[in-house]
Amino acid sequence: MKTVDWTALRPREEPPATEGLRERKKRLLRRRLSDTATEMFIERGFDAVRVAEVAEACGVSEKTVFNYYPTKESLVLDLGESTLASLEKVLADPRLPAVEAAQLILAEQLSALTAWIFGQPDLTQAKGTLRRFACLIRSTPSLRAHHRDTTDRQAAAVAAILAARAGLHPGDPEPQIAAAALLALWPIQFQSLHKHLEPAHTAAGLHAAVTADVHRAARLINTGLHDLNRPHLEQPGETRTL
C-alpha cells in the first residue's frame, strides 16, 4: 500500500549512532504502521477501519500493532507526545523564558510542516491531504477525546515545571493559568496555518505569516508569564495581575 510520508507530523526521530539492524527495522515498522493507518482512516473514516486491517496491510499481526501502539487512537500520529517531551526538556532550563521555549518548539514544528507541504510533487494535493487529516481529527469523537487527554497531561506537566521555577505548588492558580496560556499557542498556530495555507505560495511565506500570528499571541501572554517568576509580595486578599 502506497502511503503519504507523514514525517512532518510525526515526532522527530533521531536514530542512535549505534542503531543496529533489528532496532532500525522496529523503528521503520512503527512508522509504516502509523502512515498506513492514517491513510486508511482518512480514506474510509476512523471508525470504519479495524486495527486488524491495518495489521494485514502491513503484513503483521494485530498483536504486533498493539505492541507498538497501545490504542487505535495513538496510531494517528503522536505529535502531542513529542510536544510534551519537548516541553519537559526545554522548560527545564530556568534561564529560558517560558514563552520563548514554547516558540522554539512551535517554530521547529512549523518549519518541518511547511517544508513537507512545499516538498510534495503536487502542492494542491499536499494542502488537501493536510486538510483531510485535520478534518479526520475534528470529526472523530474518540480522536478528539484522545487529543483532550494529551492536552490535559501536557497542562499538568507544564504547570508542575512552571511551579518549580517560581517556587509555587503545581495546584496554585498562577502555574495553572500560565500553563493553559502557554499551551494555547498550539491551537493558535494550527488555526493560523489553516488560514494562510491556501494563499501561500512558498514555504517561507507560509512560515512567516503563521509565525507572525503566533508572535502576536505570545506577546499578549508574555507579561503574565514573566510575572509568574516575581516574588510573591501581595497581601492576603490581593490578586496579582499576570
Cα dihedral: 228, 233, 238, 242 (round 10): -20
Report the CATH fold assignment for 79-227.
Tetracycline Repressor; domain 2 (1.10.357)
Which pLDDT belongs to residue 78?
Answer: 77
User: Which residues of the chain register pLDDT less than 70?
Assistant: 1-17, 224-242
Intra-chain end-to-end CA distance of the chain, in Å: 52
Give pLDDT tens digits for 137-163: 999 999 999 999 999 999 999 999 999
**Nearest one of 161, 158, 169, 179 to 224, comparing CA atoms:** 179
Q: Is the whole model's pTM more than 0.85, yes or no?
A: no
Domain ranges of the chain: 7-75, 79-227
Which pLDDT belongs to residue 4?
Answer: 65
Report the CATH fold assignment for 7-75.
Arc Repressor Mutant, subunit A (1.10.10)
Which pLDDT belongs to residue 242?
Answer: 36
Sequence-ordered list of residues with C-beta below 8 angstroms from that of 207, at least 6 positions apart, any chain? 110, 111, 114
Task: Quote the cell numbers at residue 135.
Answer: 478534518
**Nearest one of 138, 137, 115 to 126, comparing CA atoms:** 115
Long-range CB contacts (within 8 A, 24+) of 210-218: 210/110, 210/114, 211/107, 211/110, 213/188, 213/189, 214/103, 214/106, 214/185, 214/188, 214/189, 215/103, 217/184, 217/185, 217/188, 218/99, 218/102, 218/103, 218/185
